Structure formats: structure tokens, C-alpha cells
Structure 1
């Protein structure tokens, strides 16, 4: 990861655990690792990124081990969530089957992703050459089953309805539905099951104040 992380490994793992309803302490994290295949994917993603930020001679072998473990957890959960993906704290994945995320996507804090979601790139062919755009989800975004977001930004606390295809940027706190996706309503109450205690917006997010976990 090239960007300096805004959150520590402990904060992101604790926030993810809260989203799955398990609390943020060591016991809760261990229970989720033992029994929740979806939490295991986010945990190994965080572990890969933490290993990649390390210095010294242990960095490469530890990163290689974490990447191998992450590959196994993705396979077990039948999804593709590359370890390089920038993901804010408090990610929750529901069901998970068929989830596909581009490695250069950006996902904010307290985001909820259902099964079959695709976050993919969009290529524009211009006279000067190909220009590639990557998707970005703001904080508190809820993306329903089989929705597709192609190379555009979705604002904070939006709700993307099931099977929507989003190809244009969407303002914050809107409900998006259809193919192509259009704004159909405003969001009055964001849909964030078990929200982790992080900032309300990606531009003003502060460090999560969750109980520490090892790492």
C-alpha cells in the first residue's frame, strides 16, 4: 500500500469485529476467526497490509505467508477481495458468495457489501489513449446483492439497491436503483448494522476508539 494508513491494524480489526456483532476484544476476534468465514477474509486482508507496512528482514516472508493465507480465506468464502484494496475500518460482508472487488478500488469506513457485488474499473477510450477509473465507496455505504459499481464514486451513507448498475457518480445520502443506476430517493437513516465507532465522513474520519486486539 502506498498511502500512509489512517488507522492501525488493531483499530481496523477491532472495528471489523464490531460490525459482525462480536465486540472488539481478543475473545470476540478469536470467536469470529473460528466461526465466521467472511470475517476471516477481512482479517487476512488487514494482516497482509500490516505485514506490508513492516520494515526489516521479516517483512517479505511474513507478507508471503499472509498473502497465502488470504488466498485460502478468499477461496473458502468464494469471493475475490485483493489484499491491496484500500478498505476503511468496519467492513462487513454478508453472505459473500461471488463478491468481486478490483484491487485499486477504495472502500470507506462502515461499508456493507452483499453477495454478488462487483466493484470494477471503467476504461474510457480517448484519442490520446485509454483512461482507467476505479470505484470508490464513501463511509457508511450499503451495497445490495448483485449490484455493480463501475469506476465511479458513491457518496457517504448511500444505499445501492440490489442488481443496480452504477456508472455515474452518486451524491451522499441517496438511494440508487436500476440499470443504469439513478437516484430514486434520499437516505434519512443510513443502513449500517452494528456501526463501528469511526468518523462520519471520509474527509473527517478520526481513529477508531475500539478496544485493542493483538497486533
Structure 2
């Protein structure tokens, strides 16, 4: 799983734009901002995180403005994707209605999420007290409509079928289906529509070659 902070604001925004099939240049980003409510949510999330990493007197007012904008884009898209969520480059959200993600979830690179997906925490009540676990999605994971992942890791390039409820960890390239979710097959070809080149230096080359994205 890629670590989101290793990428710059420009690289993550450009990678997100690639996933929507619009290229990675400034023109493609502006077109998506104007016409795609799902992309707007990821863009404002990236903007909040970029502002939060800043230093100096402008950090707090800029972060406050970005958070307000992110709240508006979430509301208009009818989804809950907190700006604190760690998200790798190349996130694509399809339809988006009803998407709910815990702020402590981790989402890898080139992940695809459909409407109604829930990435939620799991609480275990033990003799020593409550232990909370948060979900994580590896790179190239595809999660179908109304699927639920509760407090467990999902390996790279897995496919989680629609309406599945996953409460156990899943290894790389597993097809998960059912309630409770079970491994039903092996993924031979990962389902990553318009994958962004995020394998190390390639993302730098790809985004630098395109028209510049602010950041």
C-alpha cells in the first residue's frame, strides 16, 4: 500500500484526474471540477491536506477555508469522506451517493469505490477494555456498491463484490463476496479503470509532463 504523504498535492490531484479518464493536465482538472461532483470531493480533500501540511501564518485560515469547501462538496455529493482520511493517489468514486468512510481508514493508490460503500471501525470488547480497529484498502482495490468493510485490511488488487460485509482480513488479489464476506475466487486481472501511473518515479514523470496543476 502506497503512503499518501510521499506524493505532492500536484501528483495526487493529477493521478485522481487520470482515473476519471480526463488526463492529468490543468485543463482536465478544471473540466472535472466543473462537471464531476465526485472528483470535487477528492480535490477538496487533497486541498485540506495540503493546507494542513503548510507552515506559517496562512496555514490556519487556508485550512479553515478548505475545510468549509470540503464540507460543501461532501454535502452536494451526498457522501462522507473526512478530509483527515489517508488516501493514496488515483482515487475514483463512482456515483458516490451514500459513501461513508471513517476518518481513520486508510485507502491505497488506484482504489475504486462505488455508491453506498462503508469503511467503518470495529470495536472489540476485551477484559482490558475496548480495542478499536480501522479498515485499510491496499492499492488497486475495487469495492462494489453497498459493500461494507469493518475494521480489517484488504490486500492489494482485491475485488469486493456488491453488498458484501467484510469482517476478516483478505489477502492480495482475492475476490470477496457475501455476508459475511468470504474469499470466493482469485483475481487474475485487477479491475482498475484508467489506472494512474503511481508506481514510484513514474507518477512524477507523468504529472510533470502534463500541464501544471497548482501546488
Q: Same fold (TM over 0.5)?
A: yes
Pick the structure with more helix per residue.
2
Contact kept, 8 Å, 1:7 with 1:207, in 2: the verdict is no
Q: Which residue in the other structure is 1:94 paired with?
A: 94
**CA-atom RMSD in angstroms:** 1.1
Q: Structure 1 residues 68, 25: CA separation in 2 closer, same or farther (over 3 Å shift)?
A: same
Partner of 1:179: 179
Superposition deviation, residue 111 in structure 1: 0.1
The residue that corresponds to 2:154 in the other structure is 154
Please state how far the C-alpha of 1:33 moved relative to its aligned partner. Answer: 0.3
Structure 2, unaligned runs of 5 or more? none
Q: Provide the secondary structure at the position in 1 that maps to 2:45.
A: helix
Moved over 3 A (4+): none
Counterpart-to-counterpart distance in 2, 1:66 and 1:207:
29
**Secondary structure in 2 aligned to 1:149?**
strand
The TM-score with structure 2 as length reference comes to 0.95
Deviation string, structure 1 residues 163-215 (Cα, Å, up to 9, x no partner)? 0000000000010000000000000000000000012xxxxx55623234111
Instruction: For 1:1-215, list aligned pairs within 5 A.
Output: 5-199=5-199, 205=200, 208-209=203-204, 210=207, 211=210, 212-215=212-215
Contact 1:6 1:207 in 2 (8 A): no
State the Cα deviation string for residues 21-79 of structure 1 (Å, max 9, x = none). Answer: 11000000000000000000000000000000000000000000000000000000000
Report how many aligned residue pairs link the two structures.
208
User: d(CA) in 1 for partners of 2:90 and 2:197?
Assistant: 9
TM-score normalised by structure 1 residue count: 0.95
Structure 1 Cα separation of the partners of residues 201 and 149 of structure 2: 27
How far apart, CA to CA, are the structure 2 residues paired with 1:207 and 1:167? 34
State the alpha-carbon separation in 2 of the partners of residues 142 and 12 from structure 1.
19
Structure 1: which 5+ runs fail to align?
200-204
